Structure 1
Amino acid sequence: MKKDIYRVFSSNMIKMVVTFLSAFIVPMVLSVVSYGYLKSYQFYASYIGITHLGFCDGIYLFYGGKNERSLSKKDISVQWSSLLLYEVVIATIFILFGILGKNLIVICVGATIVPNVIFTFYSYIFQAVGDFTNYTLIINIYSVINMLINLILVLLKVRDYRIYMILYVFIETVPFFVGTYLFAKKDWVTFTKFNPKIFKKFIKAGILLMIGNFAYSIFIGIDKWFIKFTLPIKDFSMFSFASQMLTVVNMFITPIAMTLYSNISKRQDHYFEIQIKKVLVCILMVIPLTIYALEFVIYNFMTRYIQAISITSILLITQIFLSLNVAVFVNLYKAYKKQKEYFIRLMASLIVAIVIDIIIVFIKPNTMSFAFSTMISCFIWLLLNLKYFPYMQPEKKEKVYVFGLLLIYLLTLYVDNIFFKLVIYLLSYLLMTKQLMSEQWKYFTKYVKRYL
């Protein structure tokens, strides 16, 4: 498991650096409004996953924990062909709709559908059987192409967001072609015809999880939907920029979340799950240190986005709660085949978020209020998950550790000097981790000494 986490971590480190650099250099060239339109395309494209109706989720659940040698080449080829033909039809409808409406954003979203969904199919099988070597290879190639194209556009000082959008569609096709090549090497992509029985089978198996994932996408993006339709494009741009800054958090969480499902499915060991959660908590509480670095960069090089600093400060706390939910509890629901319970608790949290956002709209809509709304709903979701898995309830020391560090982090927001902020939080983190999370502290120090 450690090798898998390290492999995915390294790959996501590269991807994060590319995304992080793009998040800074692209806004330096584009105007705030143009950046808002570009992020609109990426925001809409993030919901493409709903088009497969749970087929990929059914595949993920079906192959979870299986040995790659036991996989049937013929079955995977039929599954791949059925999904590909279906998605081509859906993409064609979107593209035609965009052409008729003369909407380039819709056209680009349509052109992204097939490569996006088919790559999801590839990645889910690789993750389910534990083949993280091929998975990370695809991500690394994607990251390199992404970086090169963004650098070329920025160096040429291209200021038309439409050019970025069209080339981003090309970037999204890279994992599709690489994944197809890797599948072809395993004889997994022999083209057959559309099989309605196979299609229905996996939709039935994964529809609930897909609805849950779609609800999750709505849940984490509900603030953006309200901002998109109640505030000017500049506010959407500012909020999107703040959200983009948190890609560094995903760099740490994604490797753990991806590798946990397979391991939890095989072990189903409560002690293992508790220890993973505690280690993750310690990792997450390091993340606030990134805010101070972001502040320095924005204040010195991107003054037009100073407003995004306060938004990012709130979204970071949201990300801590969200990461615990996604990396630990969502995997627990999947591993123990509790999709229905997962969906119920997620929907309850989503309803809370929508109600709060509607209230904000009627009182006084602004980006900070919507950010607070998302933080509250993420925390409620965490409480509901803890209630369903009572053995995962944090001990008193763990509660003091988390809320104590969050309080210190919030207090540092009122300190003007960035260096002092960093020192105060870093010393607090080291002291509280050693005293309140002693087992994890010993594990980390032992691990560090081994590699020094």
Structure 2
Amino acid sequence: MKLEGVIKNVSYSFSANLISLLISIFMVVVVPKLLSVNDYGLWQLFLFYYSYLGFLHFGWEDGIYLRYAGKQFNELNCKIFAGQFYSIIILQFILATAISIFGQTFVVDADKRISLICAIWLAPFVNFNSLCNFIMQITNRIKEYARLLVTERVIFFLGVVFFLVILGWNQFRYMYMAQVFAVVSMTIVGVYLCRRLLVPHFDSLDAIRQEAYENINVGSKLMLANIASMLIIGIVRYGISIGWDVATFGKVSLTLGVSNFLMIFINSVSVVFFPIVKRMDEGDRSKVYIIIRNALTFLLFVGLIGYYPARYILSLWLPKYADSLKYMAVLFPVCVFESKVTLLINTYLKSMRKEFLMLKINAGSVVFSLFITTFTVGIWHNLSAAVFSIVLVYAFRCVLAEYHVTKLLGLNLRKNIIEDLLMCSIFIVTSWVFKNFLCMVVYGIAYTVFVLVHRHSIQQIVGMVKK
């Protein structure tokens, strides 16, 4: 692809993520102000279930994405894709029915049952939209893909504003209605964009089954890696959801959402960063890794200072959540560890074709998450310990992943890893112990010392930027 085309695709992706970030800020800052604590907790629990709907195709769509990447839209076989589209939709309705029956029968808590059933009946629409998005990506129709994402977010945003702000209907049911309207609208747009592939002319049943088998066989491996990555935090959040009420779950989710604002941009940048590393000479990878790591570390650590004014402002704006905002001190460092894994470590591992190693790292982190959640929730039943375990799990995965990638690159960064853990510990302890801006002063001093110790690294970074 020409450079001009690459720049345009990046700009589309970046613009879509920017709009998504602005809407996410509104959802985190304004919506909790309008909803009751219990309704906001219901909404967060719904979003938690909703985030896992994409796995109900069992890697089917991931296989299509991997097998047909690079094709032109007109090259896609209509009969093959029609069979896959309609088969996936039928599967989603069957699963939605089965899980609804399960929820009605076995989920005792009414709030949790409502959240589960509301989420599961969006699965047919969500996974149809997901397949349309994949097709836009693999056929290089990035502009249409970005428009799909932006359209969904904007329609949802307008729905929330209409129901909550204009009409004043501040309940979970109206948030859900806005989500349904956005998802169904996206489905209509998807039908239009993929209409050529939806004409009901099919191959034989055996051909459809064979195509589905090949797609699932290929895609399930990628899906397992993605599931493992999500379960690292998902297990802890689920433990909190069953160990405490919906309102408490919503409060913890709010603080986690505030802490993860920057991850939207980190994810979009990582997509652009991957081909750069892929084309890099193997001899330069180690040197560049150190420079980028140091630059990222300095930026992320200085970004932690934003916690202090953010907590103060949010405590004034959302007084009913003031008791839970203390957990921001624990969850802010999540961005440090997750940013390094997403932007740097995983990018290097993928460029070196170490996908199976990524899966093993994520699987090991899932086991650790399961162990620590069982202890903090099931045995100890301590909410603060459960929240602390979130950052502990992320730190564990980051350290484990960086150990492997530096081993592959022939680097020894144990000292740097220990320094990172020490800086995050200082931030968490001072923010948790001190209730005023004294914690900001103490952390500021620690950061200044850290910068002075690594002033040579800063000179290297500045030199690279000037080049």
Alignment partners' CA distance in 1, 2:58 and 2:449:
43
Instruction: Give the partner amino acid of 2:376.
Output: I
Equivalent in the alignment of 1:226: 239
Note closer, same or farther for the CA distance 1:47–1:126 as it changes in structure 2 (3 Å cut).
same
Say which of 365, 377, 385 aligns to 2:401.
Answer: 385
Structure 2: give runs of 5+ residues left out of the alignment.
Answer: 1-5
Equivalent in the alignment of 1:311: 327
Report 1:267-282 matches (<5 A).
Answer: 271=284, 274=289, 280-282=296-298
Say which of 340, 351, 365 aligns to 1:324.
Answer: 340
Partner of 1:307, secondary structure, is: coil
Instruction: Give the partner amino acid of 1:148.
Output: L
| TM-superposed deviation, 1:210 | 1.2
Query: Contact conserved, 2:377 with 2:383, CA < 8 A, in 1?
Result: no
Alignment partners' CA distance in 2, 1:169 and 1:57:
24
Note closer, same or farther for the CA distance 1:306–1:387 as it changes in structure 2 (3 Å cut).
same
1:369 aligns with 2:385: yes
Alignment partners' CA distance in 2, 1:363 and 1:208:
34
Note closer, same or farther for the CA distance 1:17–1:260 as it changes in structure 2 (3 Å cut).
same
1:113 aligns with 2:123: yes
Equivalent in the alignment of 1:47: 52
Query: Contact conserved, 2:82 with 2:197, CA < 8 A, in 1?
Result: yes
Alignment partners' CA distance in 1, 2:147 and 2:175:
25
Instruction: Give the partner amino acid of 2:210.
Output: K
1:255 aligns with 2:268: yes
| TM-superposed deviation, 1:33 | 1.5
Equivalent in the alignment of 2:459: 438
Note closer, same or farther for the CA distance 1:359–1:400 as it changes in structure 2 (3 Å cut).
closer
Comparing 424-433 and 165-174, the one that deviates more: 424-433
| TM-superposed deviation, 1:201 | 0.5
Alignment partners' CA distance in 2, 1:277 and 1:179:
40
Equivalent in the alignment of 2:76: 72
Comparing 297-306 and 171-180, the one that deviates more: 171-180
Comparing 275-284 and 313-322, the one that deviates more: 275-284
Comparing 390-399 and 206-215, the one that deviates more: 390-399
Equivalent in the alignment of 2:177: 166
Note closer, same or farther for the CA distance 1:362–1:400 as it changes in structure 2 (3 Å cut).
closer
| TM-superposed deviation, 1:412 | 5.8
Equivalent in the alignment of 2:3: none
Note closer, same or farther for the CA distance 1:95–1:231 as it changes in structure 2 (3 Å cut).
closer
Equivalent in the alignment of 1:353: 369
| TM-superposed deviation, 1:203 | 0.7
Equivalent in the alignment of 1:406: 424
Q: With the length of structure 1 as denominator, give the TM-score of the two structures.
A: 0.83
Alignment partners' CA distance in 2, 1:10 and 1:245:
21
Equivalent in the alignment of 1:157: 168
Comparing 338-347 and 348-357, the one that deviates more: 338-347
Note closer, same or farther for the CA distance 1:340–1:11 as it changes in structure 2 (3 Å cut).
same
Instruction: Give the partner amino acid of 2:76.
Output: S
Note closer, same or farther for the CA distance 1:314–1:100 as it changes in structure 2 (3 Å cut).
closer
Comparing 344-353 and 426-435, the one that deviates more: 426-435
Instruction: Give the partner amino acid of 1:146.
Output: F
Partner of 2:381, secondary structure, is: coil
Equivalent in the alignment of 2:360: 344
Say which of 229, 242, 253 aligns to 2:255.
Answer: 242
Alignment partners' CA distance in 2, 1:408 and 1:148:
42
Query: Higher Cα Rg: structure 1 or 2?
Result: 2
Query: Contact conserved, 2:235 with 2:369, CA < 8 A, in 1?
Result: yes
Query: Contact conserved, 1:96 with 1:107, CA < 8 A, in 2?
Result: no
| TM-superposed deviation, 1:15 | 0.6
Note closer, same or farther for the CA distance 1:221–1:147 as it changes in structure 2 (3 Å cut).
same
Equivalent in the alignment of 1:450: none
Identical positions, percent: 19
Q: With the length of structure 2 as denominator, give the TM-score of the two structures.
A: 0.81
Aligned residues: 443
Instruction: Give the partner amino acid of 1:210.
Output: M
Q: CA RMSD in A?
A: 3.7
Alignment partners' CA distance in 1, 2:270 and 2:331:
20
| TM-superposed deviation, 1:435 | 4.5
Alignment partners' CA distance in 2, 1:248 and 1:270:
35
Alignment partners' CA distance in 1, 2:139 and 2:421:
37
